[in-house]
Amino acid sequence: MISSWVASTLRSRDLPVSREALDSYVLDKLGGIVSYTRQFSNFYKEHFKDVAPSKIENFMEFKALPFTCSEDIIAKPNWFLCVSQSEILRSYVVETLDERLKQISFTQGELEHIIDAVGNFFQSIGVSPSTKVAIVFPQEYLWGVPDLLSRAAKQCGADTTLVDQNDLDQQMSAILSLKPDVIVGSAQQMFFLSALLEDNRGSQTPPKAIVPCHGCVPYLFTEKARRLVRKAWGADLYEHFGITEMGFNVAVGCGKEDWLHLNEVDVYAETIDPQSGDPLNLGERGELVLTNIAAKGMPIIRYRTGYLAEIIKPECSCGDVITKRLKIFSSLESDEDLLNRPLVFRPF
């Protein structure tokens, strides 16, 4: 689970594995990322001019900083960079609902860090050298999402297969032939495949785990989709939420509850009132705002995601008493519009 990644990160800094130590770690990283971007990012030099304190002393000081919006990234993506273009290994193009494009860039070190984090999660759900993992994503270029997932699974010694056919029936045939122990796929594809499996149920051996990934494309993994995937596959469900702007890996489910555990050593999450922008307390529903505190190439601070969510205290039935938990309830778009978007097979 994500708690093992959080714990290993704290231990690597000689910190105790406790909520207090995690809060201290996160506050230190927030102060560091603000200082770093004010020095190296052309966008934040201007954005934080005369508003950011020289040192972040507490979380409320951080929450007083101005937001970053999608329009800022669309307009001048390279202004966010804190490194030279020669240090950027991979840039991803994200399409918004109104068909505008955002470019998000990463260094090799950042992508290797993401692989390590996902590999740690895979290991925590039982992925090992004897595990068959099916990765169900559209074709993408080197260091794309399917490649990152494959590298992470291979860190655990798993046998990985990319299921990337441009047809749902062909994908289903490949999955049933492979008989994987774990299926990792875009939540939208898993939703459509689950509906197809329900209509053509046979005597297939169920996988041990399903990992539906959502957030990187504007598709909402609703309760309707969650129920269908669980029913169709009969496997443990480990929901994954991540957006490209935050390095893909924001929160992961534990299989025990529908709430997701936040990857707090890499991403800082808060909720705000969507109209006023005022910060909300734990347990209050509002717009999800994220900061990538592990970023080096293109940090993005206080990013308004457009997702409506709640963040609650730790203490999950899985035994994790450290990490805060997240649930995405809806978005500023219509839930049904997002759930029923056409499935497009193409690199993103």
Q: What is the mean pLDDT of the chain?
A: 89
67-88 pLDDT tens trace: 999 999 999 999 999 999 999 9
Q: Which domain holds residue 67?
A: 2-339
**CA–CA distances in Å: residue 72 to residues 52, 69, 215, 289, 327:** 18, 5, 19, 15, 26
In the chain, how many domains are there? 1
Confidence (pLDDT) at 82:
98
Confidence (pLDDT) at 342:
44
Confidence (pLDDT) at 183:
97
**CA–CA distances in Å: residue 2 to residues 124, 180, 282, 301:** 8, 23, 20, 22
Nearest partner of 329 among 307, 348, 311, judged by Cα: 307
Most confident region among 20-29, 91-100, 202-211, 330-339 by mean pLDDT: 20-29
Has residue 345 been placed in a domain?
A: no
CA distance 308 to 272: 9
Q: Which one is predicted more confidently, 329 or 1?
A: 329
Token pair 């957030």: residue: 215
Q: What percent of the chain has pLDDT over 70?
A: 92
Burial class from Cβ neighbours inside 10 Å (0-12, 13-18, 19+) for residue 305 reads buried
Confidence (pLDDT) at 199:
65
Confidence (pLDDT) at 343:
42
Has residue 247 been placed in a domain?
A: yes
Q: What is the pTM of this model?
A: 0.91
Local confidence band at 334 (pLDDT 50, 70, 90 cut-offs): very low
Confidence (pLDDT) at 329:
83
We report the CATH number of the domain holding residue 177 as: 3.40.50.12780
94-135 pLDDT tens trace: 887 777 889 999 999 999 999 999 999 999 999 999 999 999
Has residue 322 been placed in a domain?
A: yes
Has residue 344 been placed in a domain?
A: no
**CA–CA distances in Å: residue 168 to residues 98, 158, 229, 345:** 26, 24, 15, 10
289-319 pLDDT tens trace: 999 999 999 999 999 998 999 999 888 888 8
Has residue 347 been placed in a domain?
A: no
Q: Label residue 259 left, alpha or beta by phi (over 0 means left) and psi (-120 to 50 means alpha).
A: beta
CA distance 214 to 73: 21
Position 341 pLDDT exceeds 60: no
Confidence (pLDDT) at 340:
47
Has residue 314 been placed in a domain?
A: yes
CA distance 15 to 188: 39
Position 345 pLDDT exceeds 70: no
CA distance 157 to 99: 39
What mean pLDDT is predicted for residues 151-163?
96
Position 209 pLDDT exceeds 70: yes
**CA–CA distances in Å: residue 294 to residues 19, 121, 196, 246:** 19, 17, 39, 9
Has residue 348 been placed in a domain?
A: no
Has residue 138 been placed in a domain?
A: yes
43-63 pLDDT tens trace: 999 999 888 677 889 999 999
Position 337 pLDDT exceeds 60: no
246-269 pLDDT tens trace: 999 999 999 887 799 999 999 999
Confidence (pLDDT) at 270:
97
